[in-house]
Amino acid sequence: MRLTTVSHIVLGLVDQAGEATPYDLKQMAAGLSDLWSVQHAQVYREPGRLAAAGLLSEEKEEGGRRRRRFRLTAAGRAALRAWLAEPTADFTELRDPGLLRLFFGADAEPLARVQLEAHERKLREYEELAAAWPDDAPPGPRLALEAGLGHEREWVRFWRQIRDRSGAARRRR
């Protein structure tokens, strides 16, 4: 079985939690969605595949909601560690829908306004998150948040400049 990014996310989340039901995974994945979003259908299917491949153990509850409860096996832990230890040089394209429109000649000012507002909101959200961050939390998520902060600041700077520039250009006309 080929392991996808979603596989590794599920392995990583189960590792963090110790054990997890699909619903637990769904909740945890929601907290990760600004970095890498995962659909609920995937989060319910993927652990089954991973269990079939021997990377997770599965335990079924009898009564009630008949939850499936997953844990890492030794093989799963090894697979996760191997993935973490690959110092990948890959990075992805920006894939930004607003920027794409700008590329193809969209009118900059209205676009800049709505983009700026959206990114300012996201930046505030991150700042609040960072301010409330517990000192004893693991470092990984904190570093990811710092990266997010940096990029949101950059987006705000970028769109603000676009807005001001095109505003000035309009006034000159």
Residues forming contacts to its own copies in the complex (CB under 8 A) are 5, 8-9, 12, 15-16, 32-37, 80, 83-108, 110-111, 113-115, 117-119, 122, 138-141, 143-144, 146-148, 150-151, 153-155, 157-158, 162
Per CB under 7 A, 21 contacts DNA: yes
Per CB under 7 A, 115 contacts DNA: no
Q: Which is nearer to DNA, 64 or 139 (CB)?
A: 64
User: Which residues 63-102 are close enough to bind DNA by CB under 7 A?
Assistant: 64-68
Strand partners, 58: 70
> What's the token pair of residue 72?
């890492």
74-85 vs 5-17: helix crossing angle, rounded to 10: 120
Q: Which is nearer to its own copies, 1 or 82 (CB)?
A: 82
Q: Which is nearer to its own copies, 61 or 125 (CB)?
A: 125
Q: Which is nearer to its own copies, 59 or 133 (CB)?
A: 133
Radius of gyration of the chain (CA): 21
Q: Is the dihedral of CA 99, 100, 105, 109 positive or negative?
A: negative
Q: Which is nearer to its own copies, 64 or 105 (CB)?
A: 105
Distance (Å) of CA 124 to CA 29, 128, 140, 149: 21, 6, 21, 9
Residue 2, amino acid: R
Q: Looking at 19-27, 100-108, 135-143, 165-173, which segment touches DNA (CB under 7 A)?
A: 19-27
CB of 142 to DNA, least distance (A): 26
Among 16, 31, 35, 37, binds DNA (CB under 7 A): 37
Q: Looking at 33-41, 132-140, 141-149, 155-163, which segment touches DNA (CB under 7 A)?
A: 33-41
